[in-house]
Amino acid sequence: MREKLARWLERWVMTKAGEILGLGDGTRDTLLGLTVGGEGGTEEQRYRLAEALAAKVYPKYKFSELGRIFLEDEEFIALYRRAMDPDNWHSLDRKYTLYQIARAVSFLGGDAAECGVYKGGSALLLCLALREVGRTVHLFDSFEGLSAPETCDGSYWSEGALRVGEEKLRETLAPVDNYRIYRGWIPERFPDVTDIRFSFVHIDVDIYRPTLDSLSFFYDRMLSGGVILMDDYGFSSCPGAKLAADDFFSSRPERIVMLPTGQALVIKQ
């Protein structure tokens, strides 16, 4: 009796929710099927339901087309899981973009570098991409979190944010060995790689000063056709990172390409 009442109540709540959200009959039925019956609806119906709900709750977000096959790449998703923050998939699309580009330019022959490594999610992907061509990935991080933000960085970040121990990075990188870790505040350890040339550099330090220092050092060491990928350029939380890139490239021939993932890239001439 109690179970029957609970089901009736759930159906009533969902019907009301569908009405309040102004969902069409079909979408509302899928909502009911999902919640009351468990696994209701086809994949397309469930996708359309999520799309309709998102359009009501957060209209600024525009759903993409159903059926993007990178979301079914189980091997890649398992790699992502090694270092992901619990309960969110926020950088899955950015990690995929990074991996694809690093692989695509690896034929140029240089090494890769990353400024801002954290738990090593992107570092692992770079190591796998570069391992195919026998090259090394150079990893720079304070392991003390962010350095002090400046006024141009806004208020989102604070000094010491994203602090994580080097042992966590080594754990993530256990499947690979083609990397070197340079512990210290950017740009202190850059002289260690002065004579190396790079096909791919990933800059992911969130704020102005280390972004500018990283661009200033690595730009001249990029091979022609190599890519600098900036993780933070298109995020409202990182105005300083965007400003650093805009300042730096204002006097250089390359154009910044902003991606819908929030990243931006530059192809070295």
Ligand X SMILES: C[S@@+](CC[C@H](N)C(=O)[O-])C[C@H]1O[C@@H](n2cnc3c(N)ncnc32)[C@H](O)[C@@H]1O
Residues that bind ligand X (CB under 6 A): 91, 116-119, 121-122, 141-142, 145-147, 162, 185-186, 204-206, 210
φ/ψ region of 109 (left if φ > 0, alpha if ψ in -120 to 50, else beta) reads left
Q: How many helices (H) and strands (E) does the chain have?
A: 9, 7
Pairwise CA distance, residues 194 & 198, whole Å: 11
Given the complex with ligand X, which of 16 and 90 has the nearer CB atom?
90
- Report the residue closest to ligand X, judged by CB: 116
At 26, is the secondary structure helix, strand, or coil? helix
User: Looking at beta carbons only, is 56 or 81 nearer to ligand X?
Assistant: 81
Q: By C-beta, is 23 or 212 nearer to ligand X?
A: 212
Q: Least distance to ligand X from the beta carbon of 79, Å?
A: 12
Token pair 């061509």: residue: 133
| Phi, psi for 26 (deg, rounded to 5) | -60, -45
| 252: DSSP letter | S
Write down the least CB distance from residue 204 to ligand X, Å.
Answer: 4
Phi, psi at 230, each rounded to 5°: -110, 120
- C-beta of 173 vs 256, nearer to ligand X: 173
| Comparison of 111 and 141: residue with beta carbon closer to ligand X | 141
Question: Side by side, which strands form the sheet with 257-258?
Answer: 179-183, 137-141, 111-115, 198-203, 222-230, 264-267, 257-258
Does residue 3 come out as left (phi exceeding 0), alpha (psi in the -120 to 50 range) or beta? alpha
What's the min distance (Å) between Cβ of 195 and ligand X? 21
Contact predicate 207/230, CB 8 Å: no
Smallest gap from residue 121 Cβ to ligand X (A): 4
Considering the complex, what minimum distance in angstroms separates the CB of residue 67 from ligand X? Answer: 26
Comparing CB distances to ligand X, the nearer of 122 and 199 is: 122
For the CB of residue 109, give the shortest distance to ligand X in the complex, in Å. Answer: 24
